[in-house]
Amino acid sequence: MTTAPTLSSDEIERYARHIVLHGVGGPGQQKLKAARVLVIGAGGLGSPLIQYLAAAGVGEIGVVDDDTVSLSNLQRQVLHSTADIGRLKVESARDAVARLNPHVTLTMHPLRIEPANARDLVRAYDLIADGSDNFATRYAVSDACFYESRPLVTAAVGAYDASLTTLRPYERDAQGRPNPTYRCLFPEAPPAGAVPACAEAGVLGALTGVVGSMMALEVLRELTGFGETLVGRLLLVDTRAMRFETMTYGWDPGNVLNGEGSD
């Protein structure tokens, strides 16, 4: 049996509002300290996600990003500052986390995640949070999480809208059916050019802050166990109408990962 990590007196004071919170408490805070979370992308979604995971006391945060900070990032990527322009985002993230919480370790992965390396990266962590901005990365990450049996919190933003869900397709639901995969939700990537890039369509900066913070909420919920999971539910955000809706989705027997014809 693994012994839960002990909280120092400084940590007890730092996390006091969690420790008195029903559903988290001391045991939940110890789970956060013991947890290793891999964040894909230190951009618009990753910025608030990394900050709130660090503030919450997640013991180790791995960050995968091969990009450098540019001036156009700063409208929404609040983890970085003007002085960080030109630096690797993982280095800027490491320094920001060190300033925020010395009890948290940030492990840098300055590379692009691809099918060839995704499983090795995912395997080293307890939970994965994907805030990447393209379908190729999302498929690589979600497939790796399926094969390595790791929970995945994944989100995407458009100009004024966003979506968020959690995936545990290596498990079954209460009726014994397989949980859905990312490929049950999105069987195929949209045609090239069908979804304009952020540089072309723009993105509302505060939207990434809201959704990245919601990703952090879902990660903390997954790690500590309070509340109702987003497995099989897709949260949709429309900022033009300030509308939040949740749609359910299920297992597709034809999906290539855990479908009826899969190995």
Q: Is 198 a catalytic residue?
A: yes
Q: Count CB-CB contacts under 10 A for residue 199.
A: 8
Catalytic residue among 198, 217, 234, 236: 198
Helix axes 89-100, 46-56, angle to 10 degrees: 30
Which run of H or of E encompasses 28? helix 25-34
Residue 6 per-residue DSSP state? P
Closest listed residue to residue 220, CA positions, set 15, 4, 6, 8: 15
Token pair in block for residue 260: 């009826």
Beta carbons within 10 angstroms of residue 16's beta carbon? 11
Provide the angle, in degrees to the nearest 10, between the axes of the packed helices 115-123 and 135-147: 50
> Measuring CA to CA, which residue among 59, 40, 139, 134 is closest to residue 102?
59
Q: At 234, list the tokens.
A: 């897709």
Cα–Cα distance, 239 to 63 (Å, whole number) = 28
What is the number of other CB atoms lying within 10 angstroms of the CB of residue 219?
25
Residue 82: count of CB within 10 angstroms of its CB: 8
Residues that are catalytic? 198
